[in-house]
Amino acid sequence: MLDALAPTEKTPFANATVVRGACPHDCPDTCALVTTVRDGVAVKLQGNPDHSHTAGVLCTKVSRYIERNDHPERLTTPLRRTGPKGSGQFAPVSWDEALDAIAARLKLTKHSDTIVPYSYAGTMGLVQGESMDRRFFHKLGASLLDRTICSTAGGEALSFTLGGKVGMRVEFFAEAKLILIWGSNSIGSNLHFWRHAQAAKRNGARLVCIDPRKTETADKCDEHIALLPGTDAALALALMHELIVHDWLDHDYIARHTLGWEQLRERALQWPPSRAAAVCGVPEAQIVALAQAYGTTKPAAIRMNYGMQRVRGGGNAARAIACLPALTGAWRHRAGGVLLSATGFFPVDRAALQRPDLLAGRTPRTINMTNIGDALLDTANPINVLVVYNSNPVAIAPESGKVVAGFAREDLFTVVLEQFQTDTADYADYVLPATTQLEHWDIHTSYGHTDVLLNRPAVAPRGEARSNAWVFRELARRMGFTEPCFSDDDEALCRQAFAPDVIDFNELETQGFTSLKLPDAPFADGGFPTPSGRCEFFSERLVAMGQDGLPDHVPNYEPAGSSREFPLAMISPPARNFLNSSFVNVRSLRAIEVEPLLEIHADDAAARGIDDGAIVRVFNARGEYRCRAEVSRRARAGVVHGLGIWWRKLGMDGTNVNQLTSQRLTDIGRGPTFYDCLVQVERDDARVAATAS
């Protein structure tokens, strides 16, 4: 294993080498990393200046990755639970003891699909995230996991409309003359896109940010449209209305490359800007002006992000927005169109990596990860064994009250593979110490650019930490799985991710990244990967599923202003210096975020006697959560922002914002509705008194 660390380049410093890697985090940018290693220790981590998307720049979080890697609280040995669930009491055990005990428990399990793997994108690596683990659970016949927690509403919406997760090439945003940044805080969550947006701005482009929150990105755009959460489809339909009545349409593109134009036209004509203005809570004039800009500026580009699809109608909203560029023919130009995610362009050989054939005709049930709270409490369809890796569900899944109750079940056998003792690890029967990106092999695609990156280990694993793939290989051996695929080592798995003829592995090995060969303007002449080959305004496939075939405004489950008891709409977007719940335990980053915050508009604060800096109780029928209020110009009246996602145990009262969110699902994609959540806020006088005394 150690000679895997060898192929690196010498630096001008004595005893130092540089190792090329990739940022593993769930971020669209997938930066290329260069780690300087001296005497076996990582001493410097930088963005690779040779990789054009990274351009030598990392975000604040990952520029602290060595601090995270060398953190004194890294898990370094397997642990066995010695106290009640959730108490965090554990004793170190050997790997053999832990793996033998886990394998014995799995062998005892009569119905294999009462075993549930729970994983998400703690690392986006194809090897540590979706290879040996999947092989293992397929062979075992465990439940399948519907990995919906982030992006399925928008992703499936894109598939129904454009045919896949496909879109503009990110680099060409720099040439656009109008950019709509829609449901995205680029500066916080997609920094390397922001570079292109700024380049466009320098060339005279107009930037418009569409977001309920006045984010740091909104501050820097020419215009900010602060619509109410979950009203994006209404806005998009009103834009269509204006494109139609002013004839800012590309009739030739519509005729040749779209499906369902007449029906969409009829639908959009029901949405004059006045109607959308009332729904969105923004001035009609702002919608009219945006439509004019979008209809008359060429090239016009839209950068959506997943922030706008975490509401009941998230799928329909993403579909409505994705229809816009086909109406104006924006796709004809390489700097026109829309980008939400471009992962559909990567020809990953998932069958080779994940080996679904090992299911051998069995069709285990599927558990929707968004509803893990309910699933763990469902006694009719029990989950007996849960194996968690690359995720921190106790902190990040909605309606935590139920998630915690589920994880606290004494009869549930839980294994957690983790780098740190997270809220979830506290509920494990066995905690297995995981390697970091500096310590293991991996290969990466990206959802914000179209390069493949190779990650070589730069340093030896900390303590007894082992890679996820190693753990599942070892468990497979103990289960008696003899297929040769269970012997593939991590580096071999990297090579299996793509068929040899589709990417240049030599280039990956020598420079650390390689670019997919793609046309500049993928849909200039149509050719969408839909069944019809057209941009499907109307979707037969949705109709076949009993859904509306046309995009529509689907109001939130909990629309702003619809309840007297819970009058405020709460969204919980990322805090800039955390990545979901990762990095919350990194001291220098937590020092920037300080403590859990609720941004609230001055009027809403005054009406409740809440001063800036007061400790507040945020609550609804699902639960309550305490944090500090910031009376903030970033909040519009009626909407509060509970910035995410704190570790519960590092917050104020042992909970976090997901104590309040619901398990209801999106219209398309079975996704979570984190931002479709009504609350009430009050001063927490008890807490204030306690702090004062």
Ligand X SMILES: Nc1nc2c(c(=O)[nH]1)N[C@H]1C(S)=C(S)[C@@H](COP(=O)(O)OP(=O)(O)OC[C@H]3O[C@@H](n4cnc5c(=O)[nH]c(N)nc54)[C@H](O)[C@@H]3O)O[C@H]1N2
Query: Which of 37, 79, 140, 150: binder of Mo ion (CB under 5 A)?
Result: 150
Regarding 59 and contact with ligand SF4 (CB under 6 A), the answer is yes
Regarding 179 and contact with ligand SF4 (CB under 6 A), the answer is no
Stretch 552-581: interaction string toward ligand SF4, x if CB under 6 A: ---------------------------x--
Shorter beta-carbon distance to ligand X: residue 329 or 433? 433
Query: Which of 18, 20, 21, 25: binder of ligand SF4 (CB under 6 A)?
Result: 25
d(CA 226, CA 185): 13
Regarding 514 and contact with ligand X (CB under 6 A), the answer is no
- Tokens 């209801």 sit at which residue? 664
Quote the least distance from Cβ 58 to ligand SF4, whole Å: 4
What are the residues facing 79 on neighbouring strands?
92, 431
Shorter beta-carbon distance to ligand X: residue 257 or 649? 649
Of 57-65, 327-335, 556-564, 567-575, which segment contacts ligand SF4 by CB under 6 A?
Answer: 57-65
Regarding 575 and contact with Mo ion (CB under 5 A), the answer is no
Regarding 670 and contact with ligand X (CB under 6 A), the answer is no
**Joined tokens for residue 678:** 């009504």
**Joined tokens for residue 62:** 């990952």
d(CA 199, CA 197): 5
In sequence order, the 6+-apart residues with CB closer than 8 A to the CB of 611 are 605, 629, 631
DSSP assignment of 477-502 equals HHHT---GGGG--HHHHHHHSS-TTT
Regarding 31 and contact with ligand SF4 (CB under 6 A), the answer is yes
Regarding 343 and contact with ligand X (CB under 6 A), the answer is no
Burial of 693: CB neighbours in 10 Å, binned 0-12, 13-18, 19+: exposed
Shorter beta-carbon distance to ligand X: residue 249 or 569? 569
Regarding 250 and contact with ligand SF4 (CB under 6 A), the answer is no
Quote the least distance from Cβ 341 to ligand SF4, whole Å: 14
Regarding 215 and contact with ligand X (CB under 6 A), the answer is yes
Angle at CA of residue 279, ends 641 and 308, nearest 5°: 45
Regarding 32 and contact with Mo ion (CB under 5 A), the answer is no
Burial of 54: CB neighbours in 10 Å, binned 0-12, 13-18, 19+: buried
d(CA 132, CA 148): 21
Regarding 124 and contact with Mo ion (CB under 5 A), the answer is no
d(CA 211, CA 281): 12
Which of the choices ligand X, Mo ion, ligand SF4, none does residue 30 contact, using the CB cut-off of 5 to 8 A by kind?
Answer: ligand SF4
What length is written for the chain? 693
Residue 255, Ramachandran bin (φ over 0: left; ψ between -120 and 50: alpha; else beta): alpha
d(CA 33, CA 364): 39
- Strands (DSSP E) found in 373-496: 385-389, 413-418, 430-433, 442-444, 451-455
Quote the least distance from Cβ 453 to ligand SF4, whole Å: 10
Residue count at the site for ligand SF4 (CB under 6 A)?
Answer: 12
Query: Which of 18, 27, 317, 417: binder of ligand SF4 (CB under 6 A)?
Result: 27
In sequence order, the 6+-apart residues with CB closer than 8 A to the CB of 297 are 177, 178, 206
Which of the choices ligand X, ligand SF4, Mo ion, none does residue 299 contact, using the CB cut-off of 5 to 8 A by kind?
Answer: none
Quote the least distance from Cβ 210 to ligand X, whole Å: 5
Which of the choices Mo ion, ligand SF4, ligand X, none does residue 58 contact, using the CB cut-off of 5 to 8 A by kind?
Answer: ligand SF4
Regarding 187 and contact with ligand SF4 (CB under 6 A), the answer is no
DSSP assignment of 177-236 equals SEEEEES--HHHH-HHHHHHHHHHHHTT-EEEEE-SS--HHHHHSSEEE-PPTT-HHHHH
Query: Which of 42, 62, 279, 322: binder of ligand SF4 (CB under 6 A)?
Result: 62
Quote the least distance from Cβ 27 to Mo ion, whole Å: 9
Of 150-158, 432-440, 586-594, 607-615, which segment contacts Mo ion by CB under 5 A?
Answer: 150-158
Query: Which of 20, 51, 61, 636: binder of ligand SF4 (CB under 6 A)?
Result: 61
Regarding 444 and contact with ligand SF4 (CB under 6 A), the answer is no
- Tokens 């593939």 sit at which residue? 488
Shorter beta-carbon distance to ligand SF4: residue 62 or 301? 62
Quote the least distance from Cβ 160 to ligand SF4, whole Å: 28
CB 665 within 8 A of CB 303: no
d(CA 129, CA 26): 12
What is the binding site for ligand X (CB under 6 A)? Answer: 24, 26-27, 120-123, 128, 149-151, 182-185, 188-190, 210-213, 215, 229-230, 232, 305-308, 311, 389-392, 395-396, 417-420, 422, 434, 468, 571-574, 576, 578-582, 644-645, 657-658, 661, 674-675
What is the binding site for ligand SF4 (CB under 6 A)? Answer: 23, 25, 27, 29-31, 58-59, 61-62, 191, 579
